[in-house]
Structures are given as structure tokens and as C-alpha cells.
Chain A
Amino acid sequence: MSVAAEPLLTVEDLHTYLATGQGVVRAVDGVSFTLGQAEVLGIVGESGCGKTVTCRTIMGLTPRRIAYSSGQVIYHPWGDGNILDLSQRELQKLRGTHLAMIFQDPMTALNPVRSIGDQLIEAVTAHARLPRAQARDRAIDLLTTVGIPAADRRMRDYPFQFSGGMLQRALIAIALASSPRLLLADEPTTSLDVIIQDQILSLLLELQRDTGMSMILVSHDLAVITEVCDRVIVMYGGQVVEEGDTATIITAPSHPYTKALLEALPQGGHRGPLRSIPGAPPSLIDTPAGCRFVPRCPLAMHECTGWTTELVETGGPGHRARCWRHHEVGRTTAWQASDSA
């Protein structure tokens, strides 16, 4: 699927800066993308590249004391207004019914001293006035839908009585309680075992297909992203460095960072040592001008520092990359060389 005809969400030049004791962290620094109806978009990048903050900004869940945002987030079913400008009360109407989110660590994402059923019923009744018994039935239905056996008996359980995978299922149930049209899944499988990871991913995909909602899947794992998503955004240092549909990204990566991520994937059958990307992601405090990948880039040249790089069309449909030498990326073998050294 290419870019869907009807957009659901448009993000335009989004910046979120975090004022910390060490200085201003430019966590999200000019991110733009469009998400279509029923589309599954992947955001991939190393930890600390701004994926999570992007999602939280869309949900209005950035820490109010330290986060400053600018730019446009337009959720089309809600009109052409910028949802960054919405009041807490208006945002509250949007949350749950339109936007929902699943967080990284299911172990901490549920209140430890309230039962699963309690927290699920709270989500069910957030936007619908239901009699208690009916809300409970709906909650049990949801738990069953996400694959929790003996759901009616597990309603009384507390989070510590659930395994990580079960908790993530419960969280998915909570997120879907008011049938949102957009689900933001922030590293939903990172803290889970590999087998559970696959189960959760297929569950998410299945639910997405059944309900026709759109989904943004955030992960540091390109393998997870390519398995599930129609389209991929690669983020680095708070910016989008490449975007395109999954097939293009895999076969013709046009940013050295994407290429590096692909090289780092364990190859099927190929039982060589795992490659990692040399160097560390950049600090987002006092970021220098110019391409942020320069210190780790085998293709870096003098022109890459000094002035800002823009996303440029590579020629493929909807495929853009933030690199002067994007047409050379596919040919380079620099990583193989540096690895054997």
C-alpha cells in the first residue's frame, strides 16, 4: 500500500524541546509526516532519537513542566485545527475515542494497586455511560478479544499477578476500550520475550485489520517494523532521515543510517557475527548544524557539516531521504569493510 488517499493525521514541522537541568534537549526537531486511514506506519530509530516524544506530543502526554512544542498536528476527523492548541478538556474528549496509546513497559503502565478489571472498566466507561454490569461485560469481552483466557476470573487480579505478555494484552484492551481510530504503539514488544513479541505483534495487526483503525508502531527494531508496517519513517537525532514504503526502504535504502540499520539485522541463514553501528547516537543538547549522522557516516564529506540538510525526493514514490549522497548509499560497502578491520 502506498500513501493512502485519505489522510487521518498530518504532522507538520513538529518540534518538542525538553528543558532539563543539563540544557535543552531537542527531542523532536522538525518532524513532518502524514498518516492515512487504516494505514500502519512504522517509526524506527535507536533509543533517544525522538520516536517516543513524537508519539507523546501527539497524545498531549509530554511532561508539562519541561516540554515545549511547536508545529502542527492535525487530526482530520476533528477538523483542521492544530491539536497542540487544544485545552486539556478538549484533548480529554479526543483521547480514548480517537487517539490511544500503548506504552513501552507494561510492568509500569498499569496502576499496581488497582485491579485489572477496575482499570479496564475505567477505560470502558470513560466515554460511555454504562451500567456497572454492562461495563463489566464489555471489559470481559475486551480481555477475551486480546486473548486472555478465563477473562471473567482474571478481572479481580492485580497487575503483579499478570505476566509481561498478559499485561501488554490488558493494556491493548484498555487502549481499544473506546474504539480509537488511531493507535500509537510505543515499543509494545521491546520488554517481552521473543515468542511473546510475535504473538503481540500479530494480535495488534489482527485488531488493526478488524477495526480498520490506523496505527503508528514505534520500534528500534527494523525487523519488527518491516514485518508489520505499510510505510516506514526512519528517525535519527530528533529528525526524520528517511521515509518511504517498506519495500523501498528494505531494497533501496537512501540514507546511510537506514543502510546501517539494515546491515545490523541478523541475516536469515547467514550466521555471521551481529553487526552494530559504530559510534553512539548524538546528544540532542547543543546539536551542531549540519547532518547529525556525520560522526558515524562512512559517506560523510566536507559539505555534510555546516549547513542543514533537507529531506529530498529520491525518485521513488513518496520516498525521501535526508542525505546529499542518497543515490550513492545503495552502492556503498563501507560497513562490511569497517567490520573486517
Chain B
Amino acid sequence: MSQTWTTHPSQALLRVAERGAKRSRSTGRRRLVLISGLVMLGIAIAAILAAPLLAGKSPTALDVLHPLAPPLTPGHLLGTDQYGRDILARILYGGRIDLAIAFGATSVTLVSGTIVGLVAGYFGGWVDNLLMRIVDLFFAFPFLVLIIAIIAMLGPSIFNMFVAIWITSWVSYARIMRAQTVVAKKQQYVLAARTLGYGRVRVMLRHILPNTASAVIIFSMVDAVGNIILAASLGFLGLGAQPPTPEWGTMISDGQNYILSSWWLATLPGLAIVFVGVAFSLIGDGLADVLRPGER
């Protein structure tokens, strides 16, 4: 063939294909998802911690001269509610409860559910059977209804909201972790560790857990979104934070009475929820790409 190397059609093809391969790799974009999620969450946390500085007023201070002031009113960037309380201040302070739930409730259920799943999957037999039947039982209830029923019995309060989530929410982690453990148990590295005579606890914690934790960690981000929405929902139903404590859900609930005239009362706190929720979702998606590449 008279063609030289540089003009051979396969070289052009190679260049096109390489561009395609780069696109399918796109590690850069995956990282970007994770980073933008982290940045958004960082902004939210910083704003909530710096609430006294940013808002400049108390979330419960009444400005009786300016009730139901619309956003961009001087002195009230996001307006005021029916008592003239500053919406910005209430959103910033209120976020403390919702984020506390996101971290406090999620971390506890992550740890407890992971342990249950690990034990069930590793030991198998009747232990596994018993634990998984309990898990099935929890899944038989609509999650929110079960939480409401528990809160009904304990009485509505922020602490009881935590308790209700702790009681119910570990089951998802247990189920995911068990599935992972059952698979990992049969892998070479675990068999090797067991052959070497390592104790059960050591095999579970040092060999199985590090190789399976990514699934529950990724799920915990989804769960955190769920818990924020749950906290807001219970607040909305009057079963979580109690007035006058500012909390996003209770603010929306209060604002619903004024939707005919003052739309900002109910809508703005919801945007805060969406912002934080999207942050956690993006972190979850980003982690999924980084921790287990090649699964999508």
C-alpha cells in the first residue's frame, strides 16, 4: 500500500475513538459533581453557623411595625412573617435543626444498621434469619406512618423525632450491608483471613467492612436527604419542632395560612431544603462515581 503512516485512515479513526473514550471516562466531570455538592453543603453549614453575623437579628424578635413585609424590604432581605419576624434569620437559625437531623440521625442509623447487616451477613443461619425478619417487618410499614405513630406515643418534640428515626431508619443500612457481606464473605481475601485464624470481629471489621462500606456510605447521603425532608415534614405536621422554635417545616406550615397574600412565607424555607437536599444528592452521586467506578 502506498499510503504513509500519517495519512492512514486508521490513524484518523484512532483520534476520533480517543475523543470518545475521553468523553466516556470524564473523570473530571464526576469529580465536579462531588465538589459542587461539597461546596454547596459547605456554604449551607457556614451560613447556618454564622447565622448571628449574617442575619443580624434574633429569629424570634418581633418587628410589629412590619408584619408580612415582602422580600427586599430594607432591613428584611427576605421579608418578614405574620409577626414581623425576619425570614432570613429564621431560615438560618432553623437550618440548625434540619442539619442536626441530617447528621445526627443519619450517622447513628448508619453505624447501627451497618453493624446489624454485617453480623447478619457474616454469621448467617438463625441470626441472619431473625434479624432480617425484623427488617422485613419494619419495611412493611409506610416509613412516615411508623414515625408518626412512634411520635404519637412519645409526644411531639425534636428529641423524640431523633428517637423515632433511630428506631426505624437503621433497617435500610442493615439490608444493604447484609447483601454486601454475604458476597464479600465468599471472596478470596476473606477466606484467606479466616484461614489465617483471625477472629470473627477482626475479619468483619478489618477485612469485610473496608471493602463493603462504600455502598452504605453512598446510601447515607440519600438517607440524609430523606431525613431532612422527614424533619421538615414532621415540623410541617406539627409533630417535630414546636413553635416558636424556627424550623424549615414549621415555617412552611405557618406560611401556608398566608399563601393568598404573602407567597414568600411558605416558599423560601422550601428553597433552603431543596438547596441542602441537592447538595447531599450531588455528594452521593459523586461518591458513587469515585468510590465504585465502572458501575454506571
Contact = CB atoms under 8 A, between A and B. Distances in A.
Partners in one complex: yes
Contact of B17 (A13, A17, A22): A17
A15 B13 contact: yes
Contacts of A21: 21, 24-25, 293-294
A316 B14 CA distance: 35
A30 interface: yes
A44 B156 CA distance: 73
A24 B24 CA distance: 11
B96 to A, nearest CB: 42
Nearest to A29: B10
Interface stretch (A63-71, A94-102, A123-131, A251-259): A63-71
Nearest to B16: A68
Interface string A31-69: 000000000000000000000000000000000011011
Contacts, number: 47
Contact of B18 (A15, A24, A65, A71): A24
Interface string B14-31: 101111110111000000
B284 to A, nearest CB: 21
B12 interface: yes
Contacts of A23: 18, 21
B24 A17 contact: no
Contacts of A30: 10
B210 interface: no
Interface in B1-49: 9-10, 12-14, 16-21, 23-25
A312 interface: no
Contacts of B293: 21
B6 to A, nearest CB: 14
Interface string A280-314: 00000000000000000000000000000000000
A165 to B, nearest CB: 31
Contacts of A13: 9-10
A70 B20 contact: no
B209 to A, nearest CB: 27
Interface in A1-31: 13, 15, 17-24, 26, 29-30
B9 A70 contact: yes
Given A23-B21, A24-B18, A17 B13 contact: yes
Contact of A24 (B9, B17, B294): B17
B21 A70 contact: no
Contacts of A29: 10
A18 B294 contact: no
B21 A24 contact: yes
B287 to A, nearest CB: 18
Contact of A71 (B9, B23, B24): B9
A68 B17 contact: yes
Contact of B12 (A19, A69, A70): A70
Contacts of B10: 13, 15, 29-30, 70
Contacts of B16: 68
Contacts of A18: 17
Contacts of A19: 17-21, 23-24
Contact of A20 (B13, B19, B24): B24
Interface string B70-95: 00000000000000000000000000
Contacts of B25: 21
A17 B12 CA distance: 11
Given A19-B21, A68-B13, 7 more contacts: A17-B13, A19-B24, A21-B25, A24-B14, A24-B21, A29-B10, A71-B9
Which 10 residue pairs are nearest across A and B when measured between Cβ atoms?
A: A19-B20, A19-B21, A17-B17, A24-B17, A68-B17, A70-B13, A15-B10, A19-B17, A70-B9, A21-B25
12 contacts: A15-B9, A15-B10, A19-B17, A20-B21, A21-B25, A21-B294, A26-B14, A29-B10, A66-B20, A68-B17, A70-B12, A71-B9
